[in-house]
Amino acid sequence: MDPFEIIEQYYEKDSPSYNILVRHSSDVANKAVKIVTNHPELNIDKKFVWEAAILHDIGIFLTNAPEIECYGTFPYIAHGFLGHDLLLRHHLPKHALVCERHTGAGLSVEEITHLKLPLPLRDMRPASIEEQVICFADCFFSKSNLEVEKTPEKVLNGLSKFGKDGARQFEKWCELFL
Which pLDDT tens digit goes with each residue over 61-80? Answer: 999 999 999 999 999 999 99
Residue closest to 156 by CA, chosen among 142, 139, 144:
139
Q: Is the pLDDT of residue 161 over 90?
A: no
Please, what are the domains in the chain? 3-177 (1.10.3210)
Average pLDDT, the chain: 97
For the question of whether the overall pTM of this predicted structure is more than 0.75, the answer is: yes
Q: Is the pLDDT of residue 163 over 90?
A: no
| Sign, CA torsion 112/115/116/117 | negative
- How many angstroms separate the CA atoms of 18 and 38, rounded? 30
Q: Is the pLDDT of residue 46 over 90?
A: yes
Angle between helices 16-38 and 129-138 (to 10 degrees): 120
